[in-house]
């Protein structure tokens, strides 16, 4: 379970990937539509999508010639349960959690 949590938190550590997840909350999206609002190449977005897919946070499927991304919210369940164990993260606020982790890592 620790490895799975590490993978999920690693994927969530990047603001671009968090933004992609927020976009996919609305609906499934084609990879090109996911890339549109970001000022980076399609190849760079694809790397982010691979990380999110490996973490189980999204799934990708090809429909015809178009590759689609879909949010997999169950992947966040274990991370959410782990964070709720601390009590200070209710409801889960990933930005606040990132700040918390940065402070903790600086103290070490």
pLDDT of the residue at 18: 94
Q: What is the largest CA-CA distance in the chain?
A: 51
Q: What is the pLDDT of residues 46-68, one digit of tens each?
A: 999 999 999 999 999 999 999 99
pLDDT of the residue at 2: 66
Helix, strand or coil for residue 33? helix
Instruction: List the end-to-end C-alpha distance of the chain, in Å, as a whole number.
Output: 24
2-107 CATH fold: Arc Repressor Mutant, subunit A (1.10.10)
């Amino acid at each position: 379970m620790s490895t799975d949590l590490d993978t999920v938190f690693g994927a969530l550590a990047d603001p671009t990937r968090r933004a992609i997840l927020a976009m996919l909350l609305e609906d499934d999206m084609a990879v090109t539509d996911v890339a549109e609002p970001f000022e980076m190449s399609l190849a760079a977005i694809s790397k982010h999508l691979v990380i999110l897919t490996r973490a189980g946070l999204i799934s990708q499927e090809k429909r015809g010639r178009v590759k689609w991304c879909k949010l997999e919210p169950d992947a966040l369940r274990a991370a959410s349960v782990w964070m709720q164990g601390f009590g200070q993260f209710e409801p889960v606020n990933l930005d606040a959690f990132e700040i918390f982790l940065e402070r903790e890592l600086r103290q070490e």
